[in-house]
Amino acid sequence: MKLTLEHLAEMNLLLQFDLSSSATGIKVHTDANEEMQKAVQQLYAKGLCTMPDGGYLTSEGIEVAEHADKILRVLNANL
């Protein structure tokens, strides 16, 4: 199984949430590009965020975003 462009858009959006505070959310505005709007709607449909335009991460969303952050840190590590 490989990452699709849709998966990457969702992961990039997850990485925009501030994981240091569960009280900080995001909003994807209606003038955002179509890829971003679709990604946030998919995150909402999967139960990872609280609103179809963003909102806050759910408990599962926080866990998934933490994993995405860890993956990115490992891939960016200088060996």
* pLDDT score at 51: 96
Residue pLDDT, tens place only, 48-74: 999 999 999 999 999 999 999 999 999
Nearest residue to 26 (alpha-carbon basis) of 50, 54, 62: 54
pLDDT digits (tens, 9 = 90+) for 38-51: 999 999 999 999 99
